[in-house]
Amino acid sequence: MSTLIAVLFDGFSYGMLLFLLSVGLSVTLGLMNFTNLAHGAFAMLGGYVTYALVESAGWPFLATLPLAFLATALIAAVFEAVLFRRIYKSGELNQVLLTIGVVFASYAVAAFFFGTVHHSVDLPDYLKGFVEIGDLKLPAYRIFLVIVALAVTAGLILFLEFTRFGAMVRAAVDNDKVAGGLGLNINAIFALTFALGSGLAGLGGALAIDILFIDPNFGFHILVPVLIVVSIGGLGSIWGSFLAAAALGIFDVAGKFLFPDFGPFLIYLFMVVILFFRPNGFFARR
């Protein structure tokens, strides 16, 4: 019984990591209709911000997390204003080509500054090792990860559904011409949305270091699982991404536990089955 709970918890917490990494893409892809394959590169940026602050400046791990979010959001906003804004209307192929180019460039930049080897960060003692509940041993860091992911989910849903800015974003997405005519500054709204989505990726990247480690390939590494989560969850749906990530994590971990020989294939099977019956994912916004 305790093994079953431990496996489910491992799966769920892995899913929560995927959720943090992909929810930002769900927002930009779903709300802005912008195919941003560079999402993983922004996640990597957040990871390196945390790594640099912890290892070079001696900051405590927790204090670096808001900065990983802010720094990534800021740099993403610059990219949006300089590069991405120009291709919102120019078709998916152009978007894919430009953003994948950004991932390649990010590899070279990261390798230049941080080397090709992988890095990890020193966690505070209370996030190391495991917490014992009866005869159940749960990794302390993963408990922390789950708490952060739940907080982010709640915050995002409240923000987009119940605030004035959230309403402006939804209005701008549904019909940008009318929204613009009503006096909304569409460019600023899109830039902020993009920065928010990328900032969340940066936070996800910082939180991923302890489980996936950080190296210049990070942007490519997480692209596939992140795209699976977004497509299963349904574009633009935070709740959908949450469910998809949780299901994917549990399915992946439980599958590898029960059938180790087929484990790696199971998540693809899972994706095929889901998309076969719900081609737009769990909760598609459009």
Partner 1 sequence: MKKTVTALLTAAATLLCGAAFAQETVKIGVINAYSGQFADPGAQLDAGITLYMQQHGDTVAGKKIEIIRKDVGGIAPDVAKRLAEELIVRDKVDILAGALLTPNALAMGDVSAEAEKFMVVMNATTPVIITKSPYMIRTSATASQINGNFGTWIANQGVKQVYTMVTDYGPGIGSGTAFEEAFKAAGGEIVGQDRTPVVNPDFSPFVQRVAEADPEALYVWVPGGTQPPALAKALAERGITPENTKIYGQGELTDDAALEALGETALGIITAYHYNVHRDDAMNDEFVEAYRAANDGRDPDIYSIGAYDGMAAIYKALEATGGDASGEALINAAKGMTWDSPRGPIGIDAETGDVVQTIWIREVQMVDGKPANVIIDQVENAK
Residue 110: φ, ψ to 5°: -65, -40
Q: Are 167 and 160 in contact (CB under 8 A)?
A: no
- Within 121-140, the residues that bind partner 1 by CB under 8 A are 122, 128-130, 137, 139-140
Contact 123, 141 (CB under 8 A): yes
Among the residues of the chain, which ranges form H helices? Answer: 2-32, 39-55, 61-82, 92-114, 140-162, 164-174, 176-181, 186-212, 218-221, 223-233, 238-258, 263-277
Site residues for partner 1, window 206-225 (CB under 8 A)? 210-213, 215, 221
Of 34, 51, 61, 141, the one binding partner 1 (CB under 8 A) is 141
7 binds partner 1 (CB under 8 A): yes
Q: Is the dihedral of CA 74, 22, 95, 104 positive or negative?
A: positive
Residue 282 interacts with partner 1 (CB under 8 A): yes or no? no
Q: What gap in Å lies between CA 35 and CA 194, rounded to an integer? A: 12
Instruction: Count CA atoms closer than 13 A to 213's CA, side-chain side.
Output: 8
CB of 10 to partner 1, least distance (A): 4
Stretch that binds partner 1, among 33-41, 183-191, 253-261, 277-285 (CB under 8 A): 253-261
Residue 39 engages partner 1 in binding (rule: CB under 8 A): no
At closest approach, how far in Å is the CB of 213 from partner 1? 4
**146/195 with CB nearer partner 1:** 146
* Count of residues engaged in binding partner 1, rule: CB under 8 A: 35
Q: Which residues bind partner 1 (CB under 8 A)?
A: 3, 6-7, 10-11, 14, 116-118, 120, 122, 128-130, 137, 139-142, 210-213, 215, 221, 252-257, 260-261, 263-264
